[in-house]
Amino acid sequence: MTSLGRRVASVLAVVVATALIIYAGVHFLAVNDQVTAAASSETATVTVAVPAFTTETTAPRTTVPESDTPVTSAAVSQDVAWGSCRKGLVNDPYPGRCHDYSDTNGDDICDLSQPDPAASGAASTLAAIPSTGVTDAGTAGGLLTGGCPFGPCVACGACFS
């Protein structure tokens, strides 16, 4: 093998070995995180992907749960430092500008730039919103509640605030 060939082979070997070690290390940490999270959420019975926000308002968007089981949003907000973006960003989309991107609810918005759904008082009123719920006029067909954070009253249609 020529000198150049040897050098190329050495470089590639070192790069691949380093990448594998880093991958294994981070994967190990990720698995550990998941195990810890699973252990601490044993009491939570229902989880739901909840909060997302329109850009116009800071009111929480509520995704309607499949069942009529009351939902405690504590299950959603655990282990997430909601609203603690160190740059004070609000609704920071993927991949985020504050370098701490975390998206537990899968809405492609950094959790740290969103307020805690539990703290917003949603826990008490988040129960059993009918699946024929409100469609936000500002977004295409989604079950959003831009101006009506917790959806309308089933009986009278009035907006909870």
Partner 1 sequence: MTLRNRLLLDGLMLGAFVAAYRPSWTGFSIHEWLSLALVVPTLVHLVVNWDWVVRTIRRFCSKLRVTARLNLVVDVALFLSVVTVMLSGLLVSEAVMGLFGVAGAKEGIWYRVHSVSADAAILTVAAHVMLHLKWMVRAARRRVLRGPGAGSGAAAMRPALSPVRVRVPRGAGDAHDPAGRRYR
Q: Token pair for residue 150?
A: 């917790």
Site for partner 1 in 27-86 (CB under 8 A): 29-30, 33
Contact 88, 97 (CB under 8 A): no
Of residues 55, 69, 97, 153, which one binds partner 1 by CB under 8 A? 97
Of residues 1, 2, 43, 99, which one binds partner 1 by CB under 8 A? 99
What is the separation, in whole angstroms, between the first and last Cα of the chain?
A: 75
Residue 63 makes CB contacts below 8 A (sequence gap 6+) with: 48, 49, 50, 52, 143
Residue 143, amino acid: L
Contact 76, 50 (CB under 8 A): yes
From residue 2 to residue 31, the character string flagging contacts with partner 1 as x (rule: CB under 8 A) and all else as - is --x--xx-xxx--x--xx--xx--x--xx-
- Judged by beta carbon, residue 46 or residue 101, the one nearer partner 1 is 101
Examine residue 119 and tell whether it contacts partner 1 (CB under 8 A). Answer: no
Binding site for partner 1 (CB under 8 A): 4, 7-8, 10-12, 15, 18-19, 22-23, 26, 29-30, 33, 95-97, 99-104
